[in-house]
Amino acid sequence: MRLRYLAIGHAQRGTPTREPTHDIAPMREPMSNAADFPLAGRCALVTGGARRLGEAIVRRLHAGGASVAVHHRSSGDEADNLISELNATRSGSAAAFACDLLEVAALPALIADVVARFGRLDILVNNASSFMPTPVGTITAEQFDDLVGTNLRAPLFLSQAAAPELRRTRGLILNLADIHGMRPLRAHPVYSAAKAGLIMLTKSLARELGPDVRVNAIAPGPVLWPEGGLDPALQDEIVAKTALKRTGSPDDIARTAFFFAADAPYVTGQVLAVDGGRGI
């Protein structure tokens, strides 16, 4: 059973010019209202983008003017409904892409399909994730492969496949980590280790892919409870450990993603906890 989340604990092709990274207005496409749509002309791929936090990120980036590639595995209906809604507001601005991220050989094709559809890729959001408890003594190789496969291996191989295009567009990789990549979540050693690996991957890729590509991560705290439900008493306990005494909303994460995408041209290799102060 998958559990989420025990927070205990236009396409317009063109050769980008190389300009200083401190330019205040990074958008180069002529815009009638660039302030309202800072991501116009950009394309974002959000893995696991059909539901929950991924959907919120898709909506925010799209509202900022980006075209969006909504990746999904099982949630094809949700992805189709979402892109229909977004295309109704801007025709041709959203498309859905199915792929099991555990199939590592399929990952370059996912990137290629997105670039073929939109003509470019500027923002890769590695959001998709599996999540399950793995108490020591019960851990199976299958669980390990699933948790590390979605939370670390797929982000790495998607990033590698996307790197040439992201260099060309001077783009962004944004990884959805977890505060438990920094402080382990009880009974979740494999998930916690995979997210810790994702945090190191973020910093490492920031070095490897600079100066053309920025690479950052968001580390959410308690935002959406596990889909299977969570004991209300435990929810209260978790919330009590936050400085802000409440859970976050999906849009808290999405707004942070938008910040990295639209307003942080000199920020790379960073991990921003969006956790209501849980990690203090």
Ligand X SMILES: NC(=O)c1ccc[n+]([C@@H]2O[C@H](COP(=O)([O-])OP(=O)(O)OC[C@H]3O[C@@H](n4cnc5c(N)ncnc54)[C@H](OP(=O)(O)O)[C@@H]3O)[C@@H](O)[C@H]2O)c1
Q: What residues are labeled active site?
A: 191
| Contacts by residues 263-269 (CB-CB < 8 Å, ≥ 24 positions apart) | 263/38, 264/214, 264/216, 265/21, 265/22, 265/23, 265/26, 265/214, 266/21, 266/22, 267/214, 267/216, 268/206, 268/210, 268/214, 268/215, 268/216, 269/202, 269/203, 269/206, 269/207, 269/215, 269/216
For residues 40 and 101, which CB has a smaller minimum distance to ligand X in the complex?
101
Task: Sketch the per residue contact string, 76 through 115, with ligand X: x for CB under 6 A, - otherwise.
Answer: ------------------------xxx-------------
The residues that bridge with 46 in the sheet, in sequence order, are 70, 125
Classify residue 245 by burial, with Cβ atoms within 10 Å: 0-12, 13-18, 19+: exposed
Of these, 41, 54, 171, 197, which contacts ligand X (CB under 6 A)? Answer: 54
State yes or no: residue 155 binds ligand X (CB under 6 A): no
| Token pair in block for residue 144 | 């390990």
Which range in 13-21, 67-75, 111-119, 256-264 contacts ligand X by CB under 6 A?
A: 67-75
Contacts of 73 (CB under 8 A, 6+ apart): 48, 98, 99, 100, 101, 128
State yes or no: residue 73 binds ligand X (CB under 6 A): yes
Task: State the nearest-atom distance from the C-beta of 124 to ligand X, in Å.
Answer: 13
State yes or no: residue 4 binds ligand X (CB under 6 A): yes
What are the phi and psi torsion angles at 76 (to 5°)? -65, -40
Which range in 12-20, 22-30, 44-52, 209-217 contacts ligand X by CB under 6 A?
A: 44-52
| Token pair in block for residue 257 | 């993603």
State yes or no: residue 213 binds ligand X (CB under 6 A): no
Are 68 and 46 contacting, i.e. CB atoms less than 8 angstroms apart? yes
For residues 165 and 252, which CB has a smaller minimum distance to ligand X in the complex?
252
For residues 40 and 185, which CB has a smaller minimum distance to ligand X in the complex?
185
State yes or no: residue 193 binds ligand X (CB under 6 A): no
State yes or no: residue 130 binds ligand X (CB under 6 A): yes
State yes or no: residue 190 binds ligand X (CB under 6 A): no
Distance CA 268, CA 170 (A): 12
Which range in 66-74, 107-115, 209-217, 264-272 contacts ligand X by CB under 6 A?
A: 66-74
Are 257 and 60 contacting, i.e. CB atoms less than 8 angstroms apart? yes
Are 48 and 224 contacting, i.e. CB atoms less than 8 angstroms apart? no
* Alpha carbon distance, N-terminus to C-terminus of the chain: 31
The residues that bridge with 44 in the sheet, in sequence order, are 68, 123
Q: Using CB under 6 A, count the residues that bind ligand X.
A: 28
For residues 121 and 253, which CB has a smaller minimum distance to ligand X in the complex?
253
Task: Sketch the per residue contact string, 133 through 152, with ligand X: x for CB under 6 A, - otherwise.
Answer: -----------------x--
Of these, 9, 64, 65, 222, which contacts ligand X (CB under 6 A)? Answer: 222
Binding residues (CB under 6 A) for ligand X: these are: 4-5, 7, 48, 50-54, 72-75, 100-102, 127-131, 150, 176, 178, 220, 222-224
